[in-house]
Amino acid sequence: MIGLSAGEPDFVTPEPILQAAIQAIRDGFTHYTENLGMLELREEISRKFARDNGLSYDVAQIICSNGAKQSVALAIFALARPGDEVLIPAPYWVSYPEMARLAGAEPVAVETTVRTNYRLDAEALERAITDRTRILILCSPSNPTGSVYTRPEMEELAAVLRRHEQVFIISDEIYEYILFDAEHVSIASLPGMKERTITVNGFSKGYAMTGWRLGYLAAELPIVKATSKVQSQLTSAPSSIYLFPDVSAFLGRQAPSGRAIRSSNDLCFYLLEEHDVALVPGEAFGDPSGVRISYAASMADLEEALRRVRRGLEALQP
């Protein structure tokens, strides 16, 4: 069996990034970051936009988040009003319609076909826009189709959008570096588009950092200010470093009491009830092979907790 289902690079995070993260932990860099994200990080992102995308964004126009997925959601929550329409070329990433619904807006799927390589054309976009249209979500390179909009195709879409000034564009570019023989074009780099475009990207795909949960968006200052207010009420700030160990090796075992450990949920209840340590099962985060350990505690508590966890794990029988 060869798994080609998960949208995740099949290589590990590059070694320099791993070593920098390890050093950050050793240096105690495990606390809250700024609501917009670290200034140094946003400076690097600003330089990346200029270097790779021909875009000029000041650090105040960039906000970091817990993944590109959250950046898309922040933009929708900040811009969409109840009753607004959000245009989504289909096939689409499964979360786009649900994000629109969460914001009280109506997702409108705009069908594409294999004849256009699943890319939205100017005529279809023109037909789909109504007085209620508020947002168009573009994803290039596309998830799930892999299609990449060419520069002429982007320019044709931009020509339509210039005639409809009420429409904002959320450009999801998380797969920017997963390219083979195509050019990546940011629609915000085209004349008249930057002021109305929210450019979303992150580190998950290009740098194999899916589990690190770090993304960002760039837009005009009023939009960034609005998204920062949303983020401040949801997650406060983007991440610095996480701890989420894989416990799959202990699943399928049995406790001395006879309790079966079939899942991380079972493991957490076992450690809670028989060893007095409270952890969060990975099922809550979409990964049943792991558990979440918060280390926002005293060193003495952490050391004792880990001694209990070790005793509990060592006691499990095959």
Predicted confidence (pLDDT) per residue in 25-48, tens digit: 888 877 777 788 889 889 999 999
**Which segments of the chain have a pLDDT < 70?**
1-10, 236-241, 243-244, 284-287, 294-298
Reported pTM: 0.72
What is the pLDDT at residue 17? 81
Pair 219, 139 in one domain: yes
What is the pLDDT at residue 216? 93
Could you tell me if residue 240 is inside a domain?
Answer: no
Pair 125, 222 in one domain: yes
What is the pLDDT at residue 8? 61
- 93-103 pLDDT, tens digit per residue, is 888 999 999 99
Task: List all residues 6 or more positions away from 244 whose beta carbon is below 8 Å from its beta carbon.
Answer: 211, 282, 285, 287, 290, 291, 292, 293
Q: Whole domain around residue 296: which residue ranges?
A: 248-314
Could you tell me if residue 7 is inside a domain?
Answer: no
Pair 226, 124 in one domain: yes
Pair 141, 271 in one domain: no
Could you tell me if residue 1 is inside a domain?
Answer: no
CATH number of the domain to which 299 belongs:
3.90.1150.10
Pair 217, 103 in one domain: yes
Q: Which of 171, 204, 234 is the last residue of a domain?
A: 234
